Every structure is written in C-alpha cells, then in structure tokens.
Amino acid sequence: MKKRVLSGIQPSGKLHIGNYFGMIKRMVEYQESSDLFLFIANLHSLTTLQDGPQMKAMTLEAATDLLALGADPEKCHFWVQSDVPEVAELTWILSCLTPMGLMERAHSYKDKIAKGIKPNLGLFSYPALMTADILINQSEIVPVGKDQKQHVEMARDIAIKFNNQFGDVFTIPEPDIVEDVAVIPGTDGQKMSKSYGNTIPIFGESSVIKKTVMGIVTDSKGVEDKKDPNKCTIYALYKLFATSEERVGMADEYRKGGLGYGDAKKALLAKIQETFEPFREKRAKLEANPKKVEDILEEGAKKVRKITLKTLEEVRKATGLRY
C-alpha cells in the first residue's frame, strides 16, 4: 500500500525557489508514488499575518501557485487548512495533554522571536497545531527541512503519549529529510525565508527576479581570484538547477579563478528562467479562471474531511468527549 505523506505551505508571501526545492518539487514527485496530503496552512499564517483581505488573497494565490507547479487534485488530497475545522478541535485536545516543557523547548519559536517577530500564544503553540495537522490525517511520512524536524519529533511524542493514555488512535509519523536540499540559502546566505526577506520569487516579474539574483551577497574576491564554491551562495543555488556536468564545470572555474561573481549570477539567472517559464504559463491560465481554483479547493476539503471526521470521532470516544 502507498504511504500517506503530509505537507503544508503557509500563504504568507510569494513562493520562492527555496519553497520549490525544499518542498514543492518533492511533493509533485510524492503524488506519483504515495498517498499525498497537501494543504495551504492558513491557520499557521495567522500567527503573523493578521490582515483579512491579504490573508484571503494570499491563500488563493498560494493555491494557484501550487497547482501551476504541478499539484494535481486528481492524484492527491489538496485543500485549505481552515476549511477543515476538525484540526482546530484536535489542537485543543492535544494541547491539554502536551507538557509545557515540550513547547518551551521548541527551537523555531525562539528563532522567530530572536528575528524580531512579535510573540503571541499562537506562535508559541504552533507545534501543537502542526501536530494536529499530522495526526488527524493519520500521516505516516512528513517531509520537512532540518529546522522543522523537531516539530515532527514533538508530534511523535504527543501521539505516543495519547495512545498510551487513551488507546491506539494515532499513527506515529516519521520525518523525511533530504539532506542536500534541507536548507536552501537566501540572497544573504541565511536560510531562504519570507520572514528574513532574502527570497528569490518563482512568479515575480522578470526584472524583479533579475535584480534579486544580481543582488546576492558575496565576498570581495575579484574575477581572477580563486574561490571556494562550497562557501558561495550563488553556487549553492546554481547546483539545484544544474546537471552533474554543469556543477563540476562551475566548481572547477571557481577553484582555478577567472569566473567573476557577476557571470556566475547570470548563469544562475538563466537556469531560473529556463526552469520556471512553463510554470509561469500554466499559472497565467489558472489566474484567468479563479473559479476553477476555488472549486478544486472546495472539493479537496470535502474529500479530506471524510478522513479527519473519522479520526476526530475516534478521539472523542477515546477521551470521553463523546458521552
């Protein structure tokens, strides 16, 4: 039987190439070999995005983007998180079983606060909602970056605690991390993230993408200087798109000198344009027919609720909430 795989993406800004290589490309591959559950995590976005019209627009935009990039509602479960209210109820139930110490050890909360994001209860309890997303769908595999691995481990701990206390209700999930794309660098060398403002958009204007790529931060070495490709953000991004032969070729040019950062950026830009142009064309057609996107999301929510309602009913019975 196919493994059940779950992943979500927040509608908190323009999709970028870190999203594509870190998650979306893998999801498109997963839907061919697995039982894929893919959702727009708008409840998670509410921790930082608190503008109603903007949330609505970004949710539909994220759905359109994912469909353009290859998500196929005929091959996977595809929905918006807030259209499945069972997840919110399960979050509360699991929160009542979750030790405070477990939440306090979450790295992502501390990292976000350190980056200047204003703290709130939702941001603090984010892992509990993520746990509910995972467990309510009886997910077996959860593809994540290294920074999210702890959250899947927390979901495992909570599921085991619940099962030990109330009986075997939840599947125990496993994280899936592909090491070579676990952390995609942004234009400043940090992890590419909308929160850090260091992203390269997939569907932005060509002029914006060009300006962003040409603005990637480098050291001060000149054209003829020898360079270490493994310490360069441009090369780290280029090798995501390139063939093995192209990777070796650019790495050799770095090491022997003679390749300036400007030319390396142009090579990266060409790869970005070549890879995403077909997706941009598909997206333009979807954008011209928003009703089609809305219908897909509505049907997706109906489909997944057959599963979430079943899981939640088991939880209610096990906990005595169904009396």
**What is the distance between the alpha carbons of residues 254 and 88, in angstroms, rounded to a whole number?**
51
**What is the distance between the alpha carbons of residues 38 and 78, in angstroms, rounded to a whole number?**
5
Which residue numbers are catalytic? 112, 191, 194
Strands (E), the chain: 4-9, 35-40, 76-80, 141-143, 174-176
CA angle 110–116–121, rounded 5-degree value: 55
- In sign, the C-alpha dihedral spanning 202, 203, 204, 206 is positive
Tell me if residue 222 falls in helix, strand or coil.
coil
Do 124 and 91 form a contact (C-beta atoms < 8 A)?
no
Residue (of 146, 145, 113, 108) closest to 127 by Cα position = 108
Tell me if residue 97 falls in helix, strand or coil.
coil
- In sign, the C-alpha dihedral spanning 278, 146, 27, 288 is negative
**What is the distance between the alpha carbons of residues 32 and 16, in angstroms, rounded to a whole number?**
23
